[in-house]
Amino acid sequence: MIHPDDLEHCREVIRTGSLSFHAASKLLPGSVRDPALALYAFCRLADDEVDEGSNKVAAVLDLQARLDLVYAGTPRNAPEDRAFAAVCERFDMPRALPEALLEGLAWDAVERRYETLSDVRGYSARVASAVGAMMCVLMRVRDADALARACDLGVAMQLTNIARDVGEDARAGRIYLPLEWIEGSGMTPDAFMSDPQASLAVRKMVKRLLAEARRLYIRSETGISSLPLNARTGIFAARFIYAAIGTQLTRLKHDSINHRARTNTVHKLGLIGISGLRSAASVVLPKSPVLFAPALDEVRFLVDAVATNKPRAQDWGTGRTGALLSVLSELKAREVNAKATIGVAAE
């Protein structure tokens, strides 16, 4: 069990450092919320150690040592470490999940850049989907299809973060936009970071990221009905609150160089209300065939690390129905990307 003092420390870390998760966590049942706070506090500590430290490589190596101690049952004498160790033991947390997060942070430490959108999804899988998979473990959900959709949600959230922070990252010497997009627009990454401007080409890239995030948000919803009923409102809230950042960014004409998109308290409360309605509807609505879509290639290793079964319908099943669903999914993705391209060109 998590010691009450350690739990209170974790709660304070989230209250001051992760407003969106703090708002959504209030809707989770205590059996999930408390270990989730411990989980997020440890992940937040890891992220801050690498992001804010003066020696990022040393920070990653230190985090690896801390993780070794957690899984040895002898955590470092710090509230986040003790709380996270208690969670890992109680829920039999696969070590591959926090190690995936650590790998993503190591990529940050070495300032890795990403050539393609698939590469960006691979990074997102590690720093965000790994946390989503850990949340499934806390809810005692180890179904492969539900895990795949949770990983969709993690990637969507991280793509939203990247789209929102393009200017902030560039000014800090970081870049997460696919390099092939930048070079295809006639720019070089270093030139862009030295003088980030909200040009039409840059806003087009932001819009493309948000289009991919939107596609994955929609896919992720189908997995929420596989979660415990008393946890669904909280997960729907997380989905809608993060997606709303993308909506705000759209209203800013995809300019994340000069603006930082955010949602206010009133907006969050409205989204929480919608989340409650969606949660209630999930009880009676039939499962969508999209639930059984194959996991993204970039997140499959996370699903395999946790799942106790195989996906119910690999490659969308067989026969005409499976083939139709597959091609319709591909067409939908192309439609979203085409609208993004046309929409920005018209601005």
The answer to the question of residue 260 being in a domain is yes
Contacts of 148 by beta carbon, 8 Å cutoff, 6+ apart: 223, 293, 294, 295, 296, 299, 303, 311
Number of domains in the chain: 2
Same-domain pairing of 200 and 285: yes
The answer to the question of residue 184 being in a domain is yes
Q: By C-alpha distance, which of 52, 42, 63 is closest to 106?
A: 63
Q: Which residue has the tokens 């190591």?
A: 106
The answer to the question of residue 45 being in a domain is yes
pLDDT value for 14: 82
Q: By C-alpha distance, which of 177, 65, 72 is closest to 117?
A: 177
The answer to the question of residue 143 being in a domain is yes
| Surface-to-core class of residue 71, CB atoms within 10 Å of its CB (0-12 exposed, 13-18 middle, 19+ buried) | middle
Instruction: From first to last of the 347 residues of the chain, give the pLDDT tens digit.
Output: 889 999 999 888 888 766 667 666 778 888 898 999 999 888 888 888 887 767 888 888 888 999 999 999 999 999 999 999 999 999 999 999 999 999 999 999 889 999 999 999 999 999 999 999 999 999 999 999 999 999 999 999 999 999 999 999 999 999 999 999 999 999 999 999 999 999 999 999 999 999 999 999 999 999 999 999 999 999 999 899 999 999 999 999 999 999 999 888 899 889 989 999 999 999 988 888 888 899 999 999 999 999 999 887 544 444 444 445 445 554 555 555 555 555 555 55
Same-domain pairing of 220 and 250: yes
CATH number at residue 5: 1.10.600.10
Contacts of 294 by beta carbon, 8 Å cutoff, 6+ apart: 148, 311, 314, 315, 316
Same-domain pairing of 75 and 123: no
* φ and ψ of 77, to 5 deg: -80, 70
CA distances from 174 to 21, 178, 204, 233, 276 (A): 24, 12, 19, 35, 38
pLDDT value for 89: 95
Print the domain residue range for 311: 113-318
Same-domain pairing of 290 and 307: yes
Rg of the Cα atoms in the chain: 20
Same-domain pairing of 96 and 143: no
Segments in 53-173 forming alpha helices (H): 56-71, 79-91, 96-109, 117-124, 130-138, 144-164, 166-171
The answer to the question of residue 339 being in a domain is no
pLDDT value for 313: 56
Rounded distance, CA 6 to CA 134, Å?
19
pLDDT value for 231: 93
Same-domain pairing of 15 and 71: yes
Rounded distance, CA 301 to CA 285, Å?
30
pLDDT value for 122: 97
Same-domain pairing of 199 and 97: no
Question: What angle, 0 to 180 degrees and rounded to 10, lies between the N-to-C axes of helices 79-91 and 56-71?
Answer: 50
Same-domain pairing of 88 and 133: no
The answer to the question of residue 341 being in a domain is no
Last residue of a domain, one of 50, 78, 107: 107
Same-domain pairing of 97 and 147: no
The answer to the question of residue 346 being in a domain is no
Same-domain pairing of 41 and 4: yes
Residues in the chain: 347
Contacts of 298 by beta carbon, 8 Å cutoff, 6+ apart: 118, 121, 122, 124, 125, 155
Last residue of a domain, one of 72, 107, 142: 107
Instruction: Please give the DSSP secondary-structure letter assigned to residue 93.
Output: -
Contacts of 284 by beta carbon, 8 Å cutoff, 6+ apart: none
Same-domain pairing of 309 and 164: yes
Rounded distance, CA 150 to CA 146, Å?
6
* Amino acid letter for position 234: G
Same-domain pairing of 151 and 285: yes
The answer to the question of residue 332 being in a domain is no
Q: Count Cβ atoms below 10 Å from residue 215 Cβ, excluding itself.
A: 19
Vertex 44: Cα angle to 125 and 8 (nearest 5): 135
Last residue of a domain, one of 74, 107, 140: 107
